[in-house]
């Protein structure tokens, strides 16, 4: 809390980051001091009842000092830096109460304010600690084979290229690729997907994954400090520091409010003194200072963001800060890419037709020669079907159309129907497309060789996801570079009625811009080919961020797993978090609006205002913690 609205004190944040905060609530320094101050206040009250008023006053004054120790030193430091904030108002009010002889009120102010500040500190530390606990998924030691001998080393000693051995039940200390063995990997703690994923040689293993089957050997591909797990924690910690619109709104209100309150209090004391007893009006001015302190407003949104972003990360979604979180909670339409988003991203060649005397092998080999160095999913399908093929020379990509190059002195072209004329294969092309397959045509020296049909199956959970989005009142649309027939066939299976096919990357961005004129739009894609659309949307959402740096950097939100059901889950979570934000801002402003006039006209005294104000802060903190609540973990596995 401190002077959060007008320049935060540095020590509490540093302590949280270095020590990850107190483990138990009674370890919070502010709460310890509040308990000491409360004890001294009770003792002082008892002593006064016994008749020793002077001793009672001394003890009560000590209570006020103990309570003020949580905020007064920071307020003084900030004041020396020409910063004023909530702590400044509380310090002035406490000093003024003591100067007027109201030791009990000053002590109560210190006790209650310290309790509210301690609860905030503990709440933030707890949410951050929950995020940092992800790093606790890394085991204390890892088994590696070096020079033919297996040995145990600390995770920090692993180097790229090490052969790491994972036995059943063990966690991976860092990222790697399986080189021997077959198993099932439990990724529930990382991606939120509870069903284990089958994995064999060549499969990627992420840090923190549990080996649920037989022993496997894994070639280390990243240091523990640069693993996918460490990267996730770093990104979310950075995200929690970013400010959303709601948070900036709270800041915009709080920054001018603090000096305005001080001016108002001075005016009440000055003009009131002209009308009556100066001491009475000075006391009312001090009460106004406390009543108008925007403590709850200053902490309301930041604490909600920290709680919600941390909770989302534990449920398989990286949300990059308050801005992304708030925009995500306002989404009314979702545009989805087809390949790798609605489909499994594991296309396979399902048919080949050759013409003009060419063989099926000629068609496949020529296509594979052009695709040899491509990372496109369709390329992987063609290369998997063709096997080892010599790469073509001078290969160039024609964006949105296909490839051209030279192989064995012959000019080759591969691309979508329309860029390469289908000729006599038009009926076959249309038949394949109606069945949901993607078709590429192969041409050699200007003569059509044949056509290849590649099909990428729809994710099993896609129809369920579209149904859940519809229940949330969110419209859906498919945006794809594939032909309209194929796209429409797959969209029909998923339950999507709005389909835009044969789009170039810039076309997707233009369509997203058009959709944004009516409502807030999120674009879901793979983060590479869809980068323009992801950047254009109100919120860009990338799939499969555990292994894709580009996806994380491009998007505002990244779904760590490959289960599309994380999408409606994170959208619902963001809506809940945004409601909590708005509730907190509304409650904070309402408290200030009600207390100021009551304090200015003497209806409420300092003790009552302090109690009401700090109670409001506790309510805001408790409500903000609700933003950490999420739904059940995804029950389906990776598809």
Positions annotated as catalytic residues are 337
The string of DSSP letters for 6-65 reads GS--HHHHHHHHHH-S-SSGGG-HHHHHHHHHHHHHHHHHHHHHTT-HHHHHHHHHHHHH
* Residue 635 vs residues 37, 187, 311: alpha-carbon distances, Å: 49, 12, 17
Distance CA 138, CA 232 (A): 13
HEC assignment per residue over 160-193: CCCEEEECCCCECCCCEEEEECCEEEECHHHHCE
Residues in the chain, overall count = 639
Distance CA 333, CA 519 (A): 7
Degrees (nearest 5) of the Cα angle 317, 306, 617? Answer: 145
Q: Are strands 475-479 and 498-500 parallel, antiparallel or unpaired?
A: parallel
Closest-CA residue to 487 (of 495, 479, 527, 381): 479
Positions of E strands within 303-379? 317-319, 331-337, 348-354
Closest-CA residue to 308 (of 633, 624, 632, 634): 624
SS3 78: helix
The dihedral sign for the CA sequence 462, 463, 464, 468: positive
Degrees (nearest 5) of the Cα angle 442, 448, 454? Answer: 35
Q: What are the structure tokens assigned to 90, written together?
A: 């509380």
Q: Are strands 331-337 and 520-525 parallel, antiparallel or unpaired?
A: parallel
Closest-CA residue to 240 (of 560, 628, 622, 634): 628
Distance CA 240, CA 569 (A): 20
SS3 332: strand
Q: What are the structure tokens assigned to 567, written together?
A: 């999408």
For 364, the enclosing helix (H) or strand (E) is helix 360-371
Q: What are the structure tokens assigned to 168, written together?
A: 């059943």
Contacts of 312 (CB under 8 A, 6+ apart): 318, 319, 325, 570, 573, 574, 630
Specify whether the backbone of 387 is left (phi greater than 0), alpha (psi in -120 to 50) or beta: left
Distance CA 438, CA 414 (A): 13
Closest-CA residue to 94 (of 80, 77, 114): 114
The answer to whether 268 and 284 have CB atoms below 8 angstroms apart is yes
């Amino acid at each position: 809390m401190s002077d959060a609205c007008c320049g935060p004190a540095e020590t509490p944040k540093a302590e949280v980051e270095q020590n990850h905060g107190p483990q138990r609530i009674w370890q919070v320094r502010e709460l310890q001091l509040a308990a000491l101050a409360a004890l001294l206040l009770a003792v002082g009250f008892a002593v006064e009842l016994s008749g020793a008023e002077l001793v009672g006053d001394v003890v009560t004054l000590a209570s006020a000092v103990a309570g003020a120790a949580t905020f007064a030193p920071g307020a003084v430091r900030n004041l020396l830096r020409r910063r004023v904030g909530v702590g400044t108002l509380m310090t002035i009010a406490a000093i003024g109460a003591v100067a007027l002889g109201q030791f009990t009120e000053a002590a109560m102010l210190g006790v209650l304010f310290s309790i509210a500040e301690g609860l905030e500190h503990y709440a933030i530390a707890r949410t951050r600690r929950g995020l940092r606990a992800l790093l606790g998924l890394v085991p204390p030691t890892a088994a590696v084979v070096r020079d033919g001998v297996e040995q145990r080393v600390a995770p920090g000693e692993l180097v790229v290229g090490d052969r790491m051995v994972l036995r059943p039940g063990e966690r991976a200390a860092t990222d790697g690729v399986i080189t021997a063995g077959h198993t099932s990997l439990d990724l529930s703690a990382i991606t939120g997907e509870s069903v284990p994923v089958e994995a064999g040689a060549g499969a990627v293993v992420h840090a923190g994954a549990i080996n649920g089957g037989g022993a496997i050997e894994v070639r280390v591909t990243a240091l523990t400090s640069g693993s996918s797990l460490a990267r996730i924690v770093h990104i979310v910690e950075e995200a929690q520091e970013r400010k959303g619109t709601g948070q900036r709104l709270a800041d915009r209100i709080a920054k001018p409010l603090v000096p305005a309150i001080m001016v108002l209090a001075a005016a009440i004391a000055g003009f009131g003194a002209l009308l009556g007893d100066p001491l009475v009006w000075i006391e009312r001015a001090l009460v106004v200072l406390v009543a108008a302190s925007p403590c709850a407003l200053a902490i309301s949104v930041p604490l909600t963001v920290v709680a919600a972003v941390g909770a989302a990360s534990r449920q398989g979604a990286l949300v990059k800060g308050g801005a992304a979180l708030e925009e995500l909670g306002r989404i009314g339409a979702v545009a989805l890419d087809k390949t790798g988003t609605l489909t499994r991203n594991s296309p396979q060649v399902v048919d080949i037709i050759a013409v003009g005397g060419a063989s099926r092998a000629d068609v496949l080999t020529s296509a594979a020669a052009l695709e040899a160095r491509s990372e496109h999913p369709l390329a992987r399908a063609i290369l998997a079907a063709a096997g080892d093929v010599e790469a073509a020379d001078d290969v160039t990509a024609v964006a949105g159309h296909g490839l051209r190059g030279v192989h064995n002195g012959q000019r080759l072209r591969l691309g979508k129907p329309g860029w390469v004329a289908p000729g006599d294969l038009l009926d076959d092309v249309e038949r394949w497309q109606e069945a949901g397959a993607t078709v590429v045509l192969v041409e050699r020296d200007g003569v059509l060789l044949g056509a290849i049909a590649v099909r990428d199956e729809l994710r099993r959970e896609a129809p369920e996801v579209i149904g859940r989005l519809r229940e949330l009142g969110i419209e859906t649309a498919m945006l794809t570079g594939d032909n309209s027939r194929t796209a429409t066939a797959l969209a029909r299976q998923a339950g999507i009625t709005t389909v835009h096919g044969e789009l170039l990357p810039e076309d997707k961005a233009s369509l997203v811009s058009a959709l944004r004129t009516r409502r807030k739009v999120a674009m879901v894609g793979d983060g590479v080919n869809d980068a323009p659309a992801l950047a254009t949307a109100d919120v860009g959402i990338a799939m499969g961020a555990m292994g894709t740096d580009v996806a994380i950097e491009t998007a505002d939100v990244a779904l760590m797993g490959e289960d599309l059901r994380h999408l409606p889950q994170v959208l619902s979570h963001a809506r809940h978090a945004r409601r909590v934000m708005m509730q907190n801002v509304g409650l904070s402003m309402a408290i200030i609006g009600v207390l100021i006039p009551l304090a200015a006209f003497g209806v409420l005294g300092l003790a009552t205002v302090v109690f009401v104000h700090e109670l409001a802060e506790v309510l805001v903190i408790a409500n903000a913690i609700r933003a950490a609540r999420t739904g059940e973990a995804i029950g389906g596995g990776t598809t």
